[in-house]
């Protein structure tokens, strides 16, 4: 089990200044939608961006977090 | 897939034999996960042939492909042997207009 807050905090800590939004999509604390808008993604491919996020969450992905939908954008892309 | 080969070489064989490969949960007829279904729906919408490998049928492959790509989730999509990501990335590439030309090129330049 994870929480929206825990996920938001973990990602926000790893990407200072980013806009992070998290939504529990099933109400069961294990399926989340994550949107991260960060300068850190500039120049990075989509795979690289997702790997950066997976690195923050480690073993939780596939464990406590059963499903994670990710949108990783730069500020320019999010407009 | 043969049982005697290592998981990695079985995965490599599939990648060599098929220009578009998706490791998914379930099958195109009976998808067992929303993200896996999403990937297969996008391929069908674009109209390219694709090979799916059901990781639910083979726990060794399910873990093996995650080690192979160092990526923790299923589905996993490969185009011409190169790992391109999971559902979110496939969807983003499709929305950007990049996926369709990539897939169409992959299926028309198959090496025999």
How far is it, in rounded angstroms, from Cα B69 to Cα B67?
6
In total, the C-beta contacts within 8 angstroms joining chain A to chain B are 33
Report d(CA B99, CA B91) in Å as an integer.
8
Q: What is the mean pLDDT of chain B?
A: 94
In this structure, what token pair is assigned to residue B55?
């990781």
Query: Are the beta carbons of B30 and B40 closer than 8 angstroms?
Result: no
Q: What's the pLDDT score for residue A2?
A: 83
Helix/strand/coil percentages in chain B, nearest 5: 50, 15, 30
Mean pLDDT of B81-101: 97
Answer whether A47 sits within 8 Å of B83, measured CB to CB. yes
Contact assessment for residue A52 and residue A58, using Cβ atoms and an 8 Å cutoff: no
Q: Do A46 and B89 touch (CB under 8 A)?
A: yes
Q: Is the pLDDT of residue B4 over 80?
A: no
Position A29 scores a pLDDT of 93
Q: Is A63 on the interface with B (CB under 8 A)?
A: no
Q: How many CB atoms lie within 10 A of CB B66?
A: 17
Distances (CA, A) of A13 to A34, A44, A57, B76, B79: 14, 19, 11, 28, 34
Tell me the ipTM for this assembly: 0.90
Which residue stretches of chain A have pLDDT < 70? 1
- For position A9, what pLDDT does the model report? 96
How many residues in total does chain B contain?
112
CB contact B84 to A (< 8 Å)? yes
Q: Which of residues 39-78 of B touch A (CB under 8 A)?
A: 66, 70-73
CB contact under 8 A, A61 and B92: no
Q: Is B14 helix (H, G, I), strand (E, B) or coil?
A: helix
CB of A36 less than 8 A from some CB of B = no
pLDDT at position B47 = 97
Inter-chain residue contact B71 with A51, CB threshold 8 Å = yes
Cβ A33 vs Cβ A69: under 8 Å: yes
Q: Are B65 and B76 in contact (CB under 8 A)?
A: yes
The conformation of residue B54, written as its DSSP 8-state character, comes to E
What's residue B109's pLDDT? Answer: 76
């Amino acid at each position: 089990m994870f929480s929206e807050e825990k996920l938001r905090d973990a990602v926000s800590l790893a990407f200072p200044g980013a806009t992070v939004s998290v939504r529990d999509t099933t109400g069961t604390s294990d399926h989340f939608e994550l949107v991260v808008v960060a300068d850190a993604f500039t120049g990075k491919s989509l795979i690289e961006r997702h790997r950066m996020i997976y690195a923050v969450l480690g073993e939780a992905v596939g464990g406590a977090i059963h499903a994670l939908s990710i949108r990783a954008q730069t500020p320019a892309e999010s407009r | 897939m043969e049982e005697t080969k290592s998981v990695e070489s079985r995965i490599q064989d599939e990648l060599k034999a098929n220009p578009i490969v998706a490791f998914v949960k379930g099958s195109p007829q009976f998808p067992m996960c929303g993200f896996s279904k999403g990937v297969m729906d996008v391929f069908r919408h674009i109209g390219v042939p694709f090979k799916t490998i059901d990781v639910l049928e083979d726990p060794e492959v399910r873990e093996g492909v995650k080690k192979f790509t160092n990526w923790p989730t299923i589905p996993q999509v490969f185009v011409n042997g190169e790992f391109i990501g999971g559902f979110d990335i496939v969807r983003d590439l499709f929305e950007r207009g990049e996926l369709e030309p990539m897939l169409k090129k992959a299926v028309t330049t198959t090496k025999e």
